[in-house]
């Protein structure tokens, strides 16, 4: 039950407060540090009547259009969060019909206990889903990697990265 709560917390932390969906091309406002989808904050600025300074939709801190930068780290966390089961229920492995309780670090995917013993994941490093969810919550909350040697901050596809571990 606690694991499901951590996964739900992680999934809720990567939701844009404007569109209420997972961040898509997330950007961070330089002045206050709040995150939004690039398209959401751009549209917000275009529709706002307060040009050239706009109040942050979260805290009302004024900012100018374009005073934001891509948040690659958050984008990576969103991609991981999308791989977890929906908070409403746990997903089962399509092949073995077992619950997806493990996260394969090498393949960056959820797997069941049977998959772990299969040839395709036999020697891969795996972690319990709840541990990975907790690690990514730490990354998101502090904006840094607890162990930078374990998680690259880059624009590379997620298959080339391993999640951070505490």
Q: What is the mean pLDDT of residues 110-129?
A: 89
> In the predicted model, what is the mean pLDDT of residues 71-80?
93
- What is the reported pLDDT for 131? 84
Instruction: Tell whether omega for the bond before 52 is within 30 degrees of 0, i.e. cis.
Output: yes
Yes or no: say if 41 and 18 are a contact pair by the CB < 8 Å rule: yes
For the chain, the average pLDDT equals: 79
CATH number of 2-160: 3.30.40.10
The pLDDT of 92-105, averaged and rounded, is: 82
Q: What is the pLDDT of residue 134?
A: 76
pLDDT score recorded for residue 27: 97
Minimum mean pLDDT range among 46-50, 67-71, 81-85: 81-85
Give domain limits for the chain: 2-160
**Dist. CA 110–CA 104, nearest whole Å:** 6
> For residue range 8-51, what is the model confidence (pLDDT) as tens digits?
788 888 989 988 888 999 999 999 999 999 999 999 998 887 77
Q: Is the pLDDT of residue 138 over 80?
A: no
What is the CB-side half-sphere exposure of residue 94 using CA atoms within 13 A? 2
What per-residue confidence (pLDDT) applies to 4? Answer: 62
What's the rounded mean pLDDT across residues 96-113?
86
């Amino acid at each position: 039950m606690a694991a499901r709560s951590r996964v739900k917390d992680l999934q809720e932390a990567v939701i844009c407060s404007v569109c209420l969906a997972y961040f898509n091309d997330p950007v961070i406002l330089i002045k206050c540090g709040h995150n939004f989808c690039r398209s959401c904050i751009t549209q917000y600025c275009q529709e706002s009547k307060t040009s050239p300074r706009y109040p942050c939709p979260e805290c009302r801190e004024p900012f100018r259009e374009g005073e934001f930068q891509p948040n690659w780290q958050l984008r990576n966390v969103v991609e991981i969060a999308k791989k977890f089961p929906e908070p409403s229920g746990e997903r089962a492995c399509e092949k073995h019909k077992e619950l997806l309780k493990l996260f394969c670090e090498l393949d960056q995917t959820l797997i069941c206990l049977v998959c772990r013993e299969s040839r395709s994941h036999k020697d891969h490093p795996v972690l319990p889903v709840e541990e990975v969810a907790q690690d990514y919550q730490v990354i998101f909350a502090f904006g840094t990697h607890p162990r930078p040697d374990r998680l690259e901050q880059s624009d590379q596809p997620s298959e080339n990265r391993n999640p951070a571990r505490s």
